[in-house]
C-alpha cells in the first residue's frame, strides 16, 4: 500500500417526497421527529445528488463542496454524521490492525445536485443521504440501511428516508437517544413500480422560512400541531402502509392530499403564520381536483402534495399518464422538462376541463419547469468520482 494512497468512494442518492409529512422535532439536537412520516423515493435517473468521499494523509482538513461552492462543514449536524461514521470505522480498525487508518484522515467530500438547491425539492435529504452513504462506502462499513438512516437522520431528518428505495417510513421512535428513530422499507419500488410523479416547479428561489426554523415555530406556537402529531398522523401512517401494501391508489391519493393540507394547515396556524403554498400552488390543487372529478365516482387518479415550498408534486399511476401529465402538458407544455422520450410520448389532453381556465392561467404564468419522474431505488454506488 502506497504511503500517499488516496481512498475514494462515490454514490448517487435519491430525493424522496413525503406523502405523510415530517414537521416538528421533539429533540432538535438529535433530529427526532414529533411524528412518523412516509415517503416515495424518486428515481435517480431524474433527480439525484452525486457525492464522492475521499481521504488521504495529504488532505489537510475536512471539506465539503456542493455544485462547486465550498460549504460550511462545521455545523453540529454534519459533524454528528462524520463523528458517527468515523467511530464505526475506528471500531473496524481496532479489531483488524491490518486495515488502513482511514478514521484518522481528513475527508474531502464533493457533491453535485442535478436540480436546483433549496427550492423545496428535498435537496438536503438527498445531500445528507449521499454524504453518509459515500463515507460508509469509503470506510467499507458493513452497516444496514437502517443503521445508516440513524446517522443520516442527524444530518437532516428527511435524509434518513433517502437511504432506502421505494416506499419508506421513518418511525418516530420512543428512546431519548434516538436509536429507534430510523427508516424502514414499507415496500420496495418493485412492489408498486408504476407510481409516477410530475413536479410543477413554481419557484426555484430559496424559501422565506427554512424548514428547520419553520417547524420549530410551529411546535412552539400552533394550537393544532400537537393534535396532528399525536392523533392524526399515527392513524394515517397505518392506513398509508396498508394502501401501499395493497397497491390501493385511491386510498394512497386521499391520504396524500389530506396530509399535505393538514401539514400546511399547521404552518398557517403558526404565529407568525407560515405560507409555503402560493396562488400557483392552489391552481395546481384545483387542476388535480378537476382531473379527479372526471373519473367515475370521482375516484382519484392523481394526488398533489407540497413540501416546504410552492412546488406541486403530483403522484399518479403509469396507466393514467396521458390523463394526468397530459392535462398539465396541455397547459405548461412549452416549459422545460418535456424534452425526453417520456415527455415526448405523453399525449396532450385536448379536452378542456370545466371551470379550470383561471387555474390554467395561473399555472401558465407561475410554473417555470416540470420534472417527470417515478418511484425509484435506493442509493447507487458508482465508479464515477468527482475528485
Q: What residues make contact with its own copies under the rule CB under 8 A?
A: 221, 223-224, 227-228, 231-232, 254, 257-258, 261-262, 264-266, 268-273, 275, 278-279, 282, 285, 289
At residue 244, φ and ψ (nearest 5 deg) are -70, -45
- In the complex, minimum distance from the CB of residue 180 to its own copies, in angstroms, rounded to a whole number: 26
Which residues pair with residue 63 across a beta bridge?
108
Give the DSSP H/E element, type plus range, for residue 197. Answer: strand 195-201
CA 376/CA 372 separation, integer angstroms: 12
Which CB atom, from 154 or from 222, has the smaller least distance to its own copies? 222
- In the complex, minimum distance from the CB of residue 222 to its own copies, in angstroms, rounded to a whole number: 8
Which residues pair with residue 52 across a beta bridge?
10, 110
CA 310/CA 296 separation, integer angstroms: 30
CA 353/CA 268 separation, integer angstroms: 30
Which CB atom, from 324 or from 346, has the smaller least distance to its own copies? 324
- In the complex, minimum distance from the CB of residue 375 to its own copies, in angstroms, rounded to a whole number: 24
Cβ neighbour number for residue 100 with a 10 Å cutoff: 15
26 burial via Cβ count (<10 Å: 0-12, 13-18, 19+): middle
CA 184/CA 115 separation, integer angstroms: 26
Tell me the Cα Rg of the chain. 21
- In the complex, minimum distance from the CB of residue 118 to its own copies, in angstroms, rounded to a whole number: 19
CA 184/CA 174 separation, integer angstroms: 15
Which CB atom, from 113 or from 256, has the smaller least distance to its own copies? 256
- In the complex, minimum distance from the CB of residue 42 to its own copies, in angstroms, rounded to a whole number: 24
Which CB atom, from 191 or from 242, has the smaller least distance to its own copies? 242
Which CB atom, from 149 or from 256, has the smaller least distance to its own copies? 256
CA 84/CA 61 separation, integer angstroms: 17
Cα-Cα end-to-end distance for the chain: 20
- In the complex, minimum distance from the CB of residue 264 to its own copies, in angstroms, rounded to a whole number: 6
Which CB atom, from 175 or from 227, has the smaller least distance to its own copies? 227
Cβ neighbour number for residue 318 with a 10 Å cutoff: 10
- In the complex, minimum distance from the CB of residue 258 to its own copies, in angstroms, rounded to a whole number: 6
Which CB atom, from 161 or from 228, has the smaller least distance to its own copies? 228
Amino acid at each position: 500500500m502506497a504511503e500517499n494512497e488516496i481512498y475514494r468512494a462515490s454514490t448517487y442518492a435519491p430525493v424522496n417526497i413525503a406523502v405523510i409529512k415530517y414537521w416538528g422535532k421533539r429533540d432538535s439536537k438529535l433530529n427526532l421527529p414529533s411524528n412518523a412520516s412516509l415517503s416515495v423515493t424518486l428515481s435517480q435517473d431524474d433527480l439525484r445528488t452525486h457525492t464522492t468521499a475521499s481521504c488521504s494523509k495529504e488532505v489537510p482538513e475536512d471539506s465539503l463542496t456542493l455544485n462547486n461552492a465550498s460549504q460550511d462543514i462545521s455545523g453540529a449536524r454534519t459533524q454528528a454524521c462524520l463523528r458517527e461514521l468515523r467511530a464505526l470505522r475506528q471500531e473496524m480498525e481496532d479489531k483488524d490492525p491490518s486495515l488502513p487508518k482511514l478514521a484518522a484522515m481528513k475527508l474531502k467530500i464533493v457533491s453535485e445536485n442535478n436540480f436546483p438547491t433549496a427550492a423545496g425539492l428535498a435537496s438536503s435529504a438527498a445531500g445528507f443521504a449521499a454524504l453518509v452513504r459515500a463515507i460508509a462506502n469509503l470506510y467499507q462499513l458493513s452497516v444496514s440501511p437502517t443503521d445508516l438512516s440513524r446517522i443520516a437522520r442527524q444530518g437532516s431528518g428527511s435524509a434518513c428516508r433517502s437511504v432506502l428505495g421505494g416506499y419508506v417510513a421513518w418511525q418516530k421512535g420512543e428512546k431519548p437517544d434516538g436509536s429507534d428513530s430510523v427508516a424502514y422499507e414499507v415496500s420496495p419500488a418493485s412492489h408498486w413500480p408504476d407510481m409516477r410523479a410530475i413536479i410543477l416547479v413554481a419557484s426555484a428561489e430559496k424559501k422565506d422560512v427554512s424548514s428547520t426554523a419553520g417547524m420549530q415555530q410551529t411546535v412552539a406556537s400552533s394550537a393544532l400541531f400537537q393534535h396532528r402529531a399525536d392523533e392524526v398522523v399515527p392513524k394515517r401512517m397505518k392506513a398509508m402502509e396498508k394502501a401501499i401494501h395493497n397497491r390501493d391508489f385511491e386510498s394512497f391519493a386521499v391520504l396524500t392530499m389530506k396530509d399535505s393540507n393538514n401539514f400546511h394547515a399547521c404552518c398557517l396556524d403558526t404565529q407568525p403564520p407560515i405560507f409555503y403554498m402560493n396562488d400557483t400552488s392552489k391552481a395546481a390543487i384545483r387542476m388535480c381536483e378537476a382531473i379527479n372529478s372526471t373519473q367515475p365516482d370521482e375516484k382519484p387518479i392523481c394526488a398533489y402534495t407540497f413540501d416546504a415550498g410552492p412546488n406541486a408534486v403530483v403522484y399518479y399511476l403509469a396507466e393514467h399518464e396521458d390523463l394526468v401529465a397530459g392535462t398539465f402538458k396541455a397547459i405548461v407544455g412549452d416549459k422545460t422538462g418535456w424534452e425526453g422520450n417520456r415527455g415526448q410520448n405523453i399525449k396532450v389532453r385536448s379536452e378542456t376541463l370545466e371551470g379550470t381556465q383561471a387555474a390554467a392561467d395561473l399555472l401558465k404564468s407561475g410554473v417555470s419547469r416540470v420534472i417527470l419522474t417515478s418511484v425509484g431505488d435506493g442509493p447507487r454506488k458508482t465508479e464515477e468520482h468527482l475528485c
